[in-house]
C-alpha cells in the first residue's frame, strides 16, 4: 500500500483508486497512519468569515519523513456532471503547492491568501511530502491532514462578505435539492427508542461520531448520548439515515434541536460499488450533506433551509424486527415465541425464506463434557456451525474449529483471519466481528444474524427478521406471522400441537428440517466433516439424546444448579445433562441476553408529537430558540457544530 492518500479520513480513496483493500470505510479497519494536525481546525474551516484573521498552523511528526525539506500541497475533491446520470463523476487531485522547500521541522505557519484559480474547490486536504518529489507525484511517502472545508483558501468574494457568499451557496443548494429526486421516502425510518436502535443490529450500526460506549462525545449532536446510522444505503439513491437519542432514550429531532439527527443524501459510509457519486464513502456525504451545512448553518444563518431538506425522520414508519434465538443444548425460541429443545445430530434448516432466498442453517455436534473424564460425551448436542446466504450473496459460515476454543469465520468456504475488530463489505452483506467472540452479519434485506460463543462449548445464535418477512419464513425458527400455534410445522405443512408435544414428537419435527446435500451451505474440509456430515445422513438416526434429564434430589449438583439457574428451565436442563455448571451458566446468560433483546425491541412511546396545546408530548424538552429560523444561531452552537463535523473525519 502506498501512502498516496491520507489513510484515515480519505482511506476509502484507496478503495476508490486501487480497490486493493477489501474494506475501508469503517474506522476500525483503517490501517494506522501518521496524520498531520491542522492546529485549531475550526479556524481553518472558518477562516475568511468575520472574526477570523492572522495565521494558520499545521504540525506533523517530522521523523515520519526522511527528508530535510518538504513541500506542502493542497489536494481537492470535486464531483461533476448531472446528478444520478452516467456523467456524474468524482475527482481527487493535486491543486497547488502551498509552500515549497520548507524545513522539515514539523511545523508550518502561514497567513492564508485567497485562492484565485482554485477557489471552486471547497473540500480537500493538505499533503506533506519530500521536496525532492515533483508536484502531485504519486507513490511517495506523505503525511496527510484531515479532509476539511477549505474556507481558508476560498476567493476574494468569500473574504469580502462570507455571509452573502454562503447565503448564495445555500440557496443554490436549495435549488439543486428541489430538482433532485427526494430520498427521504426511501430511507429506513428511525427506531423509536435508544434501546431499539441498539438492538436492531441487522439494520443500524453505531455512528462513530456519537457512541455511548465511548463516553458519548457527541460534539455535534448536542443533547444526544448515542447515534446510529442505517447499515444499508437506500436502494436507488444510496442515501443514509442517522438517528440520535438523548439520555432518556428518546429521539433528538431537528424540529426540537439543532443537534437533531439528519438524514443524508450520501451515506457517510458510502454504498456499493463505492466508485461513483453519491456512493463514495465520506466524500459524497461531505459534498451533499456537510458542505451544505456550512453554507446554510455555519457560514450564514439559513439553517431552516438545511433542515427543510434534511429533517429528522420520526419513527412512525418504524417496525421493530422479530427475533428468534438458539443457545445451549440447543434450546430454540421461534420468531413467534414458542420454545423447544431439539438435540438432533446433523445439519438443519433454521430459517428459509423465499422472499429473499434467505437460508440459515445450523450444524450440531455432540457436546463434549468439559468437566468429567477426558473425551466423555453427553447425550446432548449443541450448534457447532452456522452457515447463511441470501439471494446469491457471499456465503458466510461461523464455526467452532475442531481443535480450538475460538470461533472461525469462513467466506465462501475459505477461512478468514482476523486479528482485530473488523468490518467487511461483502457481496450482499456486511460482516462485523469481535474476533473469537462473536460475529454479526447484516444482509441487504435488513436481516441480522448474530453468532457468539459464550463460555459454553456451543454457539448461540440470534436472527432478526424485518417486518416484511411476515408470512415468509419456515424452518426450525417457525412460520413468522404472529401466530405461535403454527410454528412447529413440518415441511409437508402439518403442524405439531404446541401444547401437547412430547420431546420425542419435537425430535421428529426437528429431524424433518434436516437439510439436503443440494441445499447445504456448509464447508466439508476435514475427514471428520466429510464422513460424518457429507457422506452420512444429514440427520443421524442412530443418535438418541436424553429427552428428559432426571433430577435426583440427593445429587449434590442439584443444589448448586438451583442456586445458579433459579427457575431458568434451559439452564437447569443443561446442567443436568452435562453436569457442568459453566455450560448452564452460558445457557442462562444467552437466554437472558435474548430476553433483554426482546424487551429492547418493544415499541416505545417516546416519539414526540406536537400537541394541540403547542407543547411536545412526553418528557418536557428544552428547545433551541430560533433554531432553523433566520435569526442568529448562538456562536457556541456554531463551534460545537463545527467540531462535530470535524469529528466525522476522526
Ligand X SMILES: *[C@@H]1O[C@H](CO)[C@@H](O)[C@H](O)[C@H]1NC(C)=O
**Contact residues: ligand X, CB under 6 A:** 40, 42-43, 46, 52, 54-55, 109, 163, 167, 300-302, 339, 354, 356, 391, 417, 419, 434, 437-438, 440, 445, 450, 452, 470-472, 474, 481, 490, 492, 494, 508, 512, 517, 534-535, 564, 569, 581-582, 585, 630
Which residues lie across from 368 on neighbouring strands? 377
Nearer to Ca ion, 15 or 288 (CB): 288
Phi, psi of 157 (to 5 degrees): -60, -35
Phi, psi of 45 (to 5 degrees): -85, 0
Nearer to ligand X, 493 or 553 (CB): 493
- Nearest distance in Å: CB 139, ligand X: 25
Q: Which does 46 bind (CB under 5 to 8 A by kind): ligand X, Ca ion, none?
A: ligand X
- Nearest distance in Å: CB 257, ligand X: 19
| Closest residue to ligand X: CB criterion | 630
Q: How far apart are CA 623 and CA 257, in angstroms?
A: 6
The grid coordinates listed for 546 are 436424553
Nearer to Ca ion, 336 or 408 (CB): 336
- Nearest distance in Å: CB 633, ligand X: 9
- Nearest distance in Å: CB 606, Ca ion: 20
- Nearest distance in Å: CB 117, ligand X: 25
580 binds Ca ion (CB under 5 A): no
Q: Which does 620 bind (CB under 5 to 8 A by kind): Ca ion, ligand X, none?
A: none
Nearer to ligand X, 481 or 621 (CB): 481
Q: Which does 437 bind (CB under 5 to 8 A by kind): ligand X, Ca ion, none?
A: ligand X
Which residues lie across from 439 on neighbouring strands? 433, 451
Q: How far apart are CA 375 and CA 235, in angstroms?
A: 51
Q: Which does 483 bind (CB under 5 to 8 A by kind): Ca ion, ligand X, none?
A: Ca ion
Going by the DSSP 8-state scheme, the letter that residue 495 receives in this structure is: B
Q: How far apart are CA 286 and CA 12, in angstroms?
A: 13
Q: Which does 471 bind (CB under 5 to 8 A by kind): ligand X, Ca ion, none?
A: ligand X
Going by the DSSP 8-state scheme, the letter that residue 189 receives in this structure is: P
Angle at 250 between CA 249 and CA 254, to 5 degrees: 140
Number of residues that bind Ca ion (CB under 5 A): 9
Phi, psi of 245 (to 5 degrees): -135, 145
Q: How far apart are CA 449 and CA 202, in angstroms?
A: 7
Question: 488, 482, 483, 513: which is closest to 501 by C-alpha?
Answer: 488
Q: Which does 33 bind (CB under 5 to 8 A by kind): ligand X, Ca ion, none?
A: none
- Nearest distance in Å: CB 591, Ca ion: 21
| C-alpha Rg value of the chain to the nearest Å | 28
Q: How far apart are CA 209 and CA 644, in angstroms?
A: 7
- Nearest distance in Å: CB 94, ligand X: 26
336 binds Ca ion (CB under 5 A): yes
Q: How far apart are CA 149 and CA 470, in angstroms?
A: 46
- Nearest distance in Å: CB 423, ligand X: 13
- Nearest distance in Å: CB 472, Ca ion: 11
Site for Ca ion in 480-499 (CB under 5 A): 481, 483, 486-487
Stretch that binds Ca ion, among 374-382, 389-397, 477-485, 522-530 (CB under 5 A): 477-485
- Nearest distance in Å: CB 440, ligand X: 5
Could you identify the residue written with the cell 446432548?
380
The grid coordinates listed for 524 are 466439508
Question: 4, 37, 45, 41: which is closest to 21 by C-alpha?
Answer: 4
Nearer to ligand X, 95 or 150 (CB): 150
Stretch that binds Ca ion, among 175-183, 237-245, 347-355, 564-572 (CB under 5 A): 237-245
The grid coordinates listed for 474 are 419456515
Site for Ca ion in 248-287 (CB under 5 A): 262, 264
Q: Which does 262 bind (CB under 5 to 8 A by kind): Ca ion, ligand X, none?
A: Ca ion
Going by the DSSP 8-state scheme, the letter that residue 566 receives in this structure is: T
Secondary structure (DSSP) of 325-392: EEETTTEEE-TTS-EEE----BEEEEEEETTTTEEEEEEEEEEEPSSSSTT-EEEEEEEEEEEEEETT
Q: How far apart are CA 518 and CA 438, in angstroms?
A: 28
The footprint of Ca ion (CB under 5 A) covers 242, 262, 264, 336, 479, 481, 483, 486-487
Amino acid at each position: 500500500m502506498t501512502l498516496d492518500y491520507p489513510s484515515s479520513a480519505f482511506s476509502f480513496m484507496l478503495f476508490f483508486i486501487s480497490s486493493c483493500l477489501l474494506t475501508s470505510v469503517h474506522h476500525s479497519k483503517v490501517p494506522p497512519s501518521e496524520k498531520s494536525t491542522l492546529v485549531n481546525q475550526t479556524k481553518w474551516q472558518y477562516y475568511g468569515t468575520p472574526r477570523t484573521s492572522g495565521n494558520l498552523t499545521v504540525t506533523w511528526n517530522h521523523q515520519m519523513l526522511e527528508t530535510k525539506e518538504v513541500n506542502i500541497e493542497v489536494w481537492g475533491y470535486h464531483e461533476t456532471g448531472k446528478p444520478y446520470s452516467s456523467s456524474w463523476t468524482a475527482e481527487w487531485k493535486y491543486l497547488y503547492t502551498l509552500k515549497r522547500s520548507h524545513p522539515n521541522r514539523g511545523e508550518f505557519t502561514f497567513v492564508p491568501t485567497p485562492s484565485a484559480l482554485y477557489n471552486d474547490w471547497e473540500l480537500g486536504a493538505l499533503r506533506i511530502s519530500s521536496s525532492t518529489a515533483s508536484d502531485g507525484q504519486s507513490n511517495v511517502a506523505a503525511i496527510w491532514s484531515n479532509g476539511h472545508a477549505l474556507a481558508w483558501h476560498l476567493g476574494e468574494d468569500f473574504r469580502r462578505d462570507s455571509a452573502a457568499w454562503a447565503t448564495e451557496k445555500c440557496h443554490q443548494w436549495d435549488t439543486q435539492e428541489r430538482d433532485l429526486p427526494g430520498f427521504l421516502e426511501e430511507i429506513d425510518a428511525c427506531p423509536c427508542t435508544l434501546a431499539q436502535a441498539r438492538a436492531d443490529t441487522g439494520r443500524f450500526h453505531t455512528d462513530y461520531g456519537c457512541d455511548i460506549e465511548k463516553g458519548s462525545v457527541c460534539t455535534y449532536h448536542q443533547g444526544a448520548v448515542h447515534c446510529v446510522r442505517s447499515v444499508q444505503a437506500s436502494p436507488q439513491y444510496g442515501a443514509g439515515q442517522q438517528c440520535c437519542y438523548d439520555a432518556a432514550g428518546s429521539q433528538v429531532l431537528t424540529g426540537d434541536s439543532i443537534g437533531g439527527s439528519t438524514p443524508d443524501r450520501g451515506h457517510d459510509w458510502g454504498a456499493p460499488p463505492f466508485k461513483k457519486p453519491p456512493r463514495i464513502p465520506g466524500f459524497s456525504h461531505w459534498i451533499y450533506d456537510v458542505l451544505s451545512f456550512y453554507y446554510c448553518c455555519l457560514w450564514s444563518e439559513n439553517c431552516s433551509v438545511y433542515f427543510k431538506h434534511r429533517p429528522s425522520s420520526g419513527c412512525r414508519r418504524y417496525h421493530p424486527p422479530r427475533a428468534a434465538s438458539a443457545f445451549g443444548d440447543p434450546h430454540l425460541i421461534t420468531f413467534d415465541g414458542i420454545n423447544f429443545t431439539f438435540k438432533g445430530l446433523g445439519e438443519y434448516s433454521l430459517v428459509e425464506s423465499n422472499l429473499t432466498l434467505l437460508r440459515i442453517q445450523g450444524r450440531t455436534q455432540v457436546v463434549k463434557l468439559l468437566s468429567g473424564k477426558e473425551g466423555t460425551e453427553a447425550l446432548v448436542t449443541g450448534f457447532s456451525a452456522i452457515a447463511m446466504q441470501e439471494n446469491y450473496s457471499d456465503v458466510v459460515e461461523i464455526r467452532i474449529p475442531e481443535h480450538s476454543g475460538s470461533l472461525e469465520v469462513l467466506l465462501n468456504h475459505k477461512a478468514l483471519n482476523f486479528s482485530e475488530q473488523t468490518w467487511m463489505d461483502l457481496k450482499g452483506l456486511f460482516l462485523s466481528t469481535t474476533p473469537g467472540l462473536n460475529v454479526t452479519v447484516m444482509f441487504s434485506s435488513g436481516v441480522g444474524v448474530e453468532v457468539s460463543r459464550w463460555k459454553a462449548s456451543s454457539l448461540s445464535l440470534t436472527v432478526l427478521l424485518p417486518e416484511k418477512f411476515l408470512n415468509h419464513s419456515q424452518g426450525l425458527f417457525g412460520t413468522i406471522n404472529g401466530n405461535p400455534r403454527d410454528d412447529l410445522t413440518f415441511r409437508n405443512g402439518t403442524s405439531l400441537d404446541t401444547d401437547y408435544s412430547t420431546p420425542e414428537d419435537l425430535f421428529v419435527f426437528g429431524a424433518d428440517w434436516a437439510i439436503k446435500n443440494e441445499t447445504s451451505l456448509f464447508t466439508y474440509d476435514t475427514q471428520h466433516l466429510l464422513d460424518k456430515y457429507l457422506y452420512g445422513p444429514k440427520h443421524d438416526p442412530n443418535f438418541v439424546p436424553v429427552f428428559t434429564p432426571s433430577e435426583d434430589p440427593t445429587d449434590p449438583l442439584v443444589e448448586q444448579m438451583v442456586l445458579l439457574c433459579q427457575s431458568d428451565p434451559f439452564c437447569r436442563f443443561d446442567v443436568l445433562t452435562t453436569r457442568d455448571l459453566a455450560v448452564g451458566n452460558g445457557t442462562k446468560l444467552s437466554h437472558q441476553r435474548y430476553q433483554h433483546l426482546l424487551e429492547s425491541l418493544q415499541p416505545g412511546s417516546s416519539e414526540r408529537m406536537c400537541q394541540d396545546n403547542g407543547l411536545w408530548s412526553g418528557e418536557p424538552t428544552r428547545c433551541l430558540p430560533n433554531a432553523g429560523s433566520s435569526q442568529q444561531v448562538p456562536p457556541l452552537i456554531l463551534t460545537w457544530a463545527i467540531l462535530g463535523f470535524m469529528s466525522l473525519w476522526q
